[in-house]
């Protein structure tokens, strides 16, 4: 991949070649969701189970290990390739199919991502949900998904016939995914990317390929600290419950223990815990709920360490173009679920659209594509002003009066509820 400036018309005109839709099924000892696509693809245990592809409107074909390389993948000239998540397919192509099976490299400008195209038109990223939203007849088979998971996680089969059955289901699932990708990609409700956005999409692929350097020693120290705090919280919970609950994540046991002390909690979500604390529970229940608030957090450092490449300590593939909702669009999307008065108030607001020039000035993508990180990106990894963009966004807290009305909290308890929220980590 290079960041060379190419005429936008050349980047956007994908109709000059024959389209090839493709999908790959793999297996590995690594967990894809835990380590990310790059670490997964570069792991020595990762291999290819099957690849399915379709040339134009033709029948979906199957390539298995030992078969000759299909013609489009032996000589990509004159073809353009479409996959549902091109980051994953490109990594498997570069690290497995090319060095081990003789596939030819495919230039990024001859590729397109069906998932990014769907996200640009505000459709779901997941293929099954996208087909449902577009009223397409393709649906994910739960049985085939379970079979695929067993194969991908290298399940030890005692009966070879069961493995053959799971493999057949996985092949059919892969063929269905190719057909669904083709149908969704060509659906008239999915607009093609304009030339400028197509150029940004290619820069996004270059940036993801370069990755962001992680401060691994700092992350390891923070991970060790988080694990120690978690152990202390679990030990205190076990002491308070006399061994009935040994972990903050044993929600059913913890809720049963608290309800046994005169409460009627139905969940341990933030709102339920805050509302119960606002009713001045007994000392043991209060401490247990406060420990639940402190300990029920995802370990971000552990997640970042798992996604960092052990060779150069860079996190790749962490960004997704059109992967989030802009504020104005998100506001208008939520308006449909609001009351009539709220909808009228929002409708009076002028349409506020994001200015592409302001976005480019805020995060110059060309600098990132050339390996030079702007100040905001550098601060996201190292320094006292470190602010990571890889964290999950915090949910907006609901206003006090809404919680009070929904949970039937007395008016006198609301000041205490506000105080509890301010003390939340």
Structure confidence at residue 176 as a pLDDT band (50, 70, 90)? very high
Strand partners, 213: 314
| Distance of alpha carbon 47 from the chain centroid | 22
Structure confidence at residue 413 as a pLDDT band (50, 70, 90)? low
Higher pLDDT, 411 or 235: 235
Higher pLDDT, 414 or 407: 414
Q: What would the mean pLDDT of 189-199 be, rounded to a whole number?
A: 91
Report whether pLDDT(37) > 80. Answer: yes
| Distance of alpha carbon 155 from the chain centroid | 25
Architecture of the CATH domain 8-212: 2-Layer Sandwich (3.30)
Q: What is the pLDDT of residue 60?
A: 96
Q: What would the mean pLDDT of 200-216 be, rounded to a whole number?
A: 91
Instruction: For residue range 64-113, list pLDDT tens digits in order.
Output: 999 999 999 999 999 999 999 899 999 999 999 999 999 999 999 999 99
Least confident of 181-195, 343-357, 409-423: 343-357
Q: What is the pLDDT of residue 2?
A: 45
First and final C-alpha spacing in the chain: 42
**Tokens at 344, concatenated:** 């009228």
Domain residue limits, the chain: 8-212, 216-298+398-422
Strand ranges, E, within 304-376? 314-315
What does 244-299 look like in DSSP terms, one character per residue? Answer: S---TT-HHHHHHHHHTTT---S--SHHHHHHHHHT---HHHHHHHHHHHHH----
Distance CA 125, CA 123 (A): 7
Q: What is the mean pLDDT of the chain?
A: 79
Q: What is the pLDDT of residue 393?
A: 37
Distance CA 183, CA 131 (A): 8
CA torsion through residues 200, 203, 208, 212, sign: negative
Contact partners, residue 241, CB within 8 Å, separation at least 6 = 253, 254, 257, 288
pTM listed for this prediction: 0.70
Q: What is the pLDDT of residue 244?
A: 92
Report whether pLDDT(154) > 80. Answer: yes
Q: What would the mean pLDDT of 114-130 be, rounded to a whole number?
A: 92
What does 388-407 look like in DSSP terms, one character per residue? Answer: -SSSPPPPPPPPHHHHHHHH
Instruction: For residue range 295-319, list pLDDT tens digits in order.
Output: 888 788 999 999 999 999 999 988 8
What does 269-282 look like in DSSP terms, one character per residue? Answer: SHHHHHHHHHT---
């Amino acid at each position: 991949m290079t960041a060379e400036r190419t005429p936008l018309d050349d980047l956007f005109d994908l109709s000059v070649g024959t389209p090839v839709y493709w999908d790959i099924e793999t297996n590995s000892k690594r967990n894809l969701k835990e380590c990310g696509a790059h670490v997964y693809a570069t792991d020595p245990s990762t291999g290819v189970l099957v690849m399915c592809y379709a040339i134009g409107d033709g029948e979906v074909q199957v390539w298995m290990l030992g078969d000759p390389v299909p013609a489009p993948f032996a000589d990509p000239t004159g073809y353009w390739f479409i996959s549902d998540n091109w980051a994953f397919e490109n990594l498997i192509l570069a690290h497995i199919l090319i060095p081990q099976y003789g596939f030819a490299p495919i230039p990024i400008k001859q590729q397109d991502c069906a998932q990014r195209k769907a996200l640009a038109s505000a459709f779901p990223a997941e293929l099954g949900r996208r087909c449902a939203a577009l009223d397409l007849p393709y649906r994910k088979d739960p049985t085939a998904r379970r079979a695929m998971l067993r194969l991908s996680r290298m399940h030890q089969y005692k009966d070879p016939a069961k493995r053959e059955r799971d493999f057949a289901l996985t092949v059919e699932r892969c063929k269905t995914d190719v057909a669904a990708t083709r149908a969704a990609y060509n659906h008239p409700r999915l607009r093609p990317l304009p030339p400028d956005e197509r150029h940004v999409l290619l820069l996004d692929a270059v940036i993801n390929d370069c990755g962001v350097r992680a401060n691994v020693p700092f992350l390891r120290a923070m991970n060790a600290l988080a694990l120690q705090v978690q152990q202390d919280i679990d030990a205190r919970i076990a002491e308070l419950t006399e061994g009935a609950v040994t972990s903050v994540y044993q929600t059913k046991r913890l809720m049963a223990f608290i309800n046994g002390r005169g409460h009627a909690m139905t969940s341990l979500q933030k709102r339920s815990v805050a509302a119960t604390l606002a009713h001045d529970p007994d000392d043991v229940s209060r401490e247990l709920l406060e420990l639940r608030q402190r300990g029920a957090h995802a370990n971000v450092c552990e997640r970042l360490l798992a996604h960092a490449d052990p060779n150069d300590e860079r996190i790749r593939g962490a960004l997704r173009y059109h992967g989030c909702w802009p504020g104005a669009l998100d506001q208008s999307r939520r308006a449909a679920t609001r009351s009539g008065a709220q909808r009228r108030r929002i409708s009076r607001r002028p349409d506020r659209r994001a200015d592409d020039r302001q976005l480019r000035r805020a995060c110059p993508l060309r600098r990132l594509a050339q390996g030079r990180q702007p100040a905001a990106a550098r601060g996201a990894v190292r320094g006292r002003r470190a602010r990571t963009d890889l964290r999950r966004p915090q949910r907006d807290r609901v206003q006090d009066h809404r919680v009070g009305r929904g949970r039937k909290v007395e008016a006198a308890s609301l000041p205490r509820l506000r105080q509890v929220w301010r003390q939340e980590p």
